[in-house]
């Protein structure tokens, strides 16, 4: 239903997304997880036929978003993050307007149906300016659904809602996701886990991880992949590393280069460093290969983002650091 290949978008000099590749099928709810500025909204806008990519291809329901933009837009229901509505129209008028723009037959019946779906039937004649954020969101979802689209693209659909409203919104999304392809973006990992069949983590315009929520959960505990480089004689190195408690997996890349994975929750680098040095090997490098998912999620949650825990490219040996300090004084 959604096919994205090599999607890249530049805003002038700034590259918003680069070489994105992913797919989504019918009946699937795909989650976009990522911090602000990661490229979620840009990707969604491209998929809606709102703007063209700088390079790459995107197809929705078999139609190219650039060549057949109008066809794509007929089949997509979109709810932007800001939920823009016309304040001086009533709910009913607004939905009818949206329905008319999509050439729906029996527009008024359809509006009634969709109001029913989002439980807004009793507010149909009220002005949109009088609605709370949660109710506006529902109208927005109604607008996205009114033409029975095959694909639904929702940008942060539960942002700004109170807990009760969030539960309702998620129920609605779950319900409509059964028959369609839904792409939604969120900041909240637990939301992605509850709603989505698969999750894509985007950061700085790149897809960092693509997996099911369950797999992500097991990674969340924070297992690390670390690279160890040693100079010179490496007899017995592998065995040594394997014997360090807390190592779950060891892979030898080449002579003197070992990648190991730790048990979730433990940082075994000091132990490995000590073991390697004490055994007489020349330790060259010891650093993590990628940001652990935990670090990414810490960045993604709504509290103050902490700087990533991994900042050192190599492990400094204690004595050297002390010498430097003395010199500076």
92 binds another protein (CB under 8 A): no
**Of 101 and 279, CB closest to another protein:** 101
37 binds another protein (CB under 8 A): no
Only segment of 93-101, 116-124, 242-250, 256-264 that touches another protein (CB under 8 A): 93-101
Only segment of 45-53, 177-185, 224-232, 290-298 that touches another protein (CB under 8 A): 45-53
Find out whether 183 and 2 touch, Cβ atoms under 8 Å: yes
DSSP alpha helix (H) spans, the chain: 40-47, 69-75, 91-101, 107-117, 133-145, 163-177, 189-195, 213-220, 237-243, 269-278, 293-300, 318-328
**Cβ within 8 Å of residue 166, ≥6 positions away:** 158, 191
Distance CA 315, CA 305 (A): 25
* Token digits of residue 56: 């790459």
For the chain, give me the number of helices (H) and strands (E)?
12, 14
Only segment of 65-73, 232-240, 241-249, 284-292 that touches another protein (CB under 8 A): 65-73
**Of 115 and 268, CB closest to another protein:** 115
Site for another protein in 142-171 (CB under 8 A): 143
* Token digits of residue 267: 């940082």
Distance CA 150, CA 75 (A): 6
98 binds another protein (CB under 8 A): yes
292 binds another protein (CB under 8 A): no
Interface residue with another protein, options 3, 15, 57, 74 (CB under 8 A): 74
> What is the binding site for another protein (CB under 8 A)?
11, 45, 48-52, 70-71, 73-74, 76, 78, 80, 82, 84-88, 97-98, 100-103, 143
């Amino acid at each position: 239903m959604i096919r994205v290949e090599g999607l890249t978008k530049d805003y002038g000099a700034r590259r918003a997304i680069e070489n994105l590749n992913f797919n989504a099928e019918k009946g699937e709810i795909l989650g976009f997880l990522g911090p602000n500025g990661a490229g979620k909204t840009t990707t969604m806008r491209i998929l809606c036929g709102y703007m063209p990519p700088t390079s790459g291809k995107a197809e929705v329901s078999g139609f190219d978003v650039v060549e057949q933009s109008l066809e794509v837009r007929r089949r997509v229901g979109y709810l932007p993050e800001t939920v823009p509505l016309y304040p001086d129209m009533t709910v009913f008028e607004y939905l009818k307007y949206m329905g008319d723009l999509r050439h729906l037959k029996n527009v008024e019946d359809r509006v009634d149906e969709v109001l029913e779906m989002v439980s807004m039937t009793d507010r149909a004649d009220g002005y949109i300016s009088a609605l709370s954020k949660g109710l506006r969101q529902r109208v927005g979802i109604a607008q996205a659904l009114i033409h029975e689209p095959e694909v639904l693209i929702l940008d942060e659909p539960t942002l700004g809602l109170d807990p009760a409203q969030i539960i309702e919104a998620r129920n609605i999304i779950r319900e409509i996701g059964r028959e369609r392809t839904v792409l939604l973006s969120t900041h909240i990992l637990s939301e992605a886990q509850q709603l989505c069949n698969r999750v894509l983590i985007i950061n700085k315009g790149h897809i960092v991880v693509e997996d099911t929520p369950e797999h992500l959960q097991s990674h969340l505990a924070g297992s690390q992949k670390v690279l160890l480089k040693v100079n010179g004689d490496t007899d017995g190195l592998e065995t040594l590393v394997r014997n360090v408690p807390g190592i779950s997996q060891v892979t030898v890349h080449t002579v003197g280069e070992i990648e190991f994975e730790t048990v979730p929750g433990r940082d075994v680098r000091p132990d490995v460093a000590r073991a390697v040095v004490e055994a007489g090997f020349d330790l060259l490098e010891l650093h993590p290969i990628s940001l652990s998912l935990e670090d990414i999620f810490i960045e993604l949650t709504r509290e103050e983002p902490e700087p990533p825990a991994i900042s050192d490219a190599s492990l400094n040996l204690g004595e050297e650091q002390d010498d430097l300090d003395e010199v500076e004084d």
